[in-house]
């Protein structure tokens, strides 16, 4: 639902601009950014909550919050209300993602984990694939509010199914540091506000750099506090693994480029080529479909130790595609000759790269930290996405949006962000890291065996005395 919501909202963005004509495009980007800020800031503590309170519990409660916030988005009377409801949606999504992936990984044997991640990534890509066309249909035939109403019945159906998920033992530890969580949230918000409003305020204005500087300071304070806190908001200890740290930085840069690409494409098609929202949604769907195909293929056919070239080659290939689009696209429609191959191939290489970097992050953490590690890596990608959208807003603010150039600049910006991810990717899947992972996988197998034995003992005890086993998961 979280992945579907991202692409659906991107397609609905032009309709929002028409429905709220007095709002600037820069201000409307907060419909996307408010979601991204809370999503990014809370993913890491949410992952820790999942490991401590139980992945099943957190998943179901977060899904309920997300569904209720979706209804509030549909009923929002103005942009301010919509932005606020989207922020609450981000809170719900932050709990759903690490808890859900943690559930998948904890139930999957070590040797099948890379394939499971590929299928997970494909599920997200397929949701993203359905988003543009489904969103375009809903916006064209009903209204942009229908995009959010759609989440409510889906959410209720998933909650009903989620109640049947198995219960598992959980880590006995303290809850995350609330002050550190608040500090990192404010820090991310400050950075994004400064980047988003910099074009309006001026890049030489003191206000711009005060916001950015304050944001950096708050993030730094949160990280410093996390180093010594017994239950840190950010599990900085995981960064002692060079592979996990490199995966986070790679995800940050991939996220920045991905969000710029996803958001600028529909705007270009509706504004410059004058496509309807439905037609624009269909035009960007091939990329999302091939992204799902690539994610499944990499997860199933490429072993982890051979996935580093996948990320590097994909990142550089996307940069080449971006240059092709930058110099080849314009006011004249070139769908078959340029847009279709640009979008389709771009989606394929992004799907391949995202699957590989998610594999790198997940296999480099202990099984008890699955949800925490997943949360941190997704935080990096979402934070990168927020920075990317803010950077795109600055590019748009400096140009004439009735002409192709700002959109072409955004396409090139996406390519530069994604190409930059090839640098930290060079530190993924090294021989040293893979040796450490082999040891981690042995620990995973022991953990899974211990889980099975604990469940068997609990069942035996329950059968013996007729008392239900206590389980917080």
pLDDT tens by residue, 246-292: 999 999 999 999 989 988 888 899 899 999 877 887 888 888 788 87
Token duo for residue 166: 């198995």
Share of the chain above pLDDT 70, in %: 83
In contact, 8 and 131? CB cutoff 8 Å: yes
Q: Is 421 helix (H, G, I), strand (E, B) or coil?
A: coil
The verdict on residue 380 lying in a domain is yes
In this predicted structure, the answer to whether residue 135 has a pLDDT above a threshold of 80 is no
The verdict on residue 456 lying in a domain is no
330 and 367: one domain?
yes
Q: What angle do CA 182, 183, 186 make, to 5 degrees?
A: 85
Which of 87, 43, 44, 98 is CA-nearest to residue 65? Answer: 87
84 and 198: one domain?
no
The verdict on residue 462 lying in a domain is no
158 and 185: one domain?
no
Q: What is the pLDDT averaged over residues 50-72?
A: 85
Which of 253, 257, 275, 256 is CA-nearest to residue 266? Answer: 275
Q: Which domain holds residue 186?
A: 177-232
Q: What is the pLDDT averaged over residues 411-417?
A: 97
Token duo for residue 259: 């969000």
Judge residue 331's burial from the number of C-beta atoms within 10 Å of its C-beta, 0-12 exposed, 13-18 middle, 19 or more buried.
exposed
The verdict on residue 26 lying in a domain is yes
Least confident of 14-18, 119-123, 180-184, 377-381: 119-123
Q: How many separate domains does the chain show?
A: 2
245 and 221: one domain?
no
What's the pLDDT band for 127 if we cut at 50, 70, 90?
A: low
What's the pLDDT band for 132 if we cut at 50, 70, 90?
A: low
Q: What is the pLDDT of residue 419?
A: 97
What's the pLDDT band for 472 if we cut at 50, 70, 90?
A: very low
Cα–Cα distance between 54 and 45 in angstroms, integer?
A: 13
Q: What is the pLDDT of residue 470?
A: 47
The verdict on residue 425 lying in a domain is yes
Q: Is 306 helix (H, G, I), strand (E, B) or coil?
A: helix
Query: How many alpha carbons fall within 13 Å on the CB side of residue 357?
Result: 34
- CATH number of the domain bearing residue 383: 1.20.1250.20
Q: What is the pLDDT of residue 344?
A: 93
Q: What is the pLDDT of residue 185?
A: 79
Token duo for residue 53: 């309170």
380 and 397: one domain?
yes
In this predicted structure, the answer to whether residue 467 has a pLDDT above a threshold of 60 is no
The DSSP line for 254-279 is: HHHHHHHHHHHHHHHHHHTS---HHH
């Amino acid at each position: 639902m979280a992945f579907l919501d991202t692409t659906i909202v991107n397609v609905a963005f032009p309709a929002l601009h028409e429905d709220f004509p007095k709002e600037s495009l820069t201000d409307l980007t907060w419909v996307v950014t408010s979601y991204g800020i809370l999503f990014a800031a809370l993913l890491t503590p949410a992952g820790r909550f999942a490991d401590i309170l139980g992945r099943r519990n957190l998943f179901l409660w977060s899904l309920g919050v997300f569904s209720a916030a979706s209804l509030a988005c549909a009923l929002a009377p103005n942009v301010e209300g919509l932005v606020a409801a989207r922020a609450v949606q981000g809170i719900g999504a932050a709990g759903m993602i690490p808890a859900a992936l943690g559930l998948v990984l904890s139930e999957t044997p070590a040797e099948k984990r890379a394939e499971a991640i590929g299928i997970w990534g494909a599920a997200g890509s397929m949701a993203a694939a359905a988003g543009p066309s489904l969103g375009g249909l809903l916006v064209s035939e009903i209204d942009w509010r229908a995009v959010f109403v759609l989440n409510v019945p889906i959410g209720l159906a998933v909650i009903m199914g989620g109640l049947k998920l198995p219960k598992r033992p959980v880590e006995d530890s303290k809850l995350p540091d609330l002050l550190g969580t608040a500090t990192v949230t404010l820090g991310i918000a400050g950075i994004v506000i400064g980047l988003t409003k910099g074009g309006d305020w001026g890049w030489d204005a003191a206000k711009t750099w005060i916001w950015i500087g304050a944001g950096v300071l708050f993030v730094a304070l949160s990280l410093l506090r996390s180093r010594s806190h017994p239950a840190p908001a950010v599990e900085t200890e995981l960064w002692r693994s060079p592979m996990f740290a490199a995966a986070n930085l790679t995800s940050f840069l991939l996220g920045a480029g991905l969000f710029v690409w996803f958001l600028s494409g529909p705007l270009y098609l509706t504004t410059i080529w004058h496509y309807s929202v439905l037609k624009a949604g269909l035009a960007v769907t091939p990329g999302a479909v091939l992204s799902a195909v690539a994610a499944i293929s990499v997860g199933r056919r490429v072993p982890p130790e051979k996935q580093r070239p996948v990320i590097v080659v994909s990142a550089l290939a996307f940069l080449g595609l971006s240059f092709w689009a930058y110099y080849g696209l314009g006011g004249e429609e070139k769908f078959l000759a340029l847009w279709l191959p640009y979008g389709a191939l771009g989606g394929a290489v992004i799907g391949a790269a995202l699957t590989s970097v998610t594999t790198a992050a997940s296999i480099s953490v202990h099984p008890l930290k699955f949800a925490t590690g997943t949360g941190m890596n997704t935080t990096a990608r979402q934070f990168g996405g927020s920075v990317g959208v803010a950077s795109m807003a600055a590019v748009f603010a400096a140009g004439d949006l009735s002409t192709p150039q700002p959109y072409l600049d955004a396409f090139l910006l996406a390519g530069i962000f994604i190409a930059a991810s090839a640098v930290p990717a060079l530190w993924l899947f090294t021989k040293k890291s893979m040796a450490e992972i082999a040891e981690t996988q042995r620990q995973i197998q022991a953990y899974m065996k211990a889980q099975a034995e604990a469940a068997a003992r609990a069942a035996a005890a329950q059968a013996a005395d007729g008392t239900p086993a206590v389980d917080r998961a």
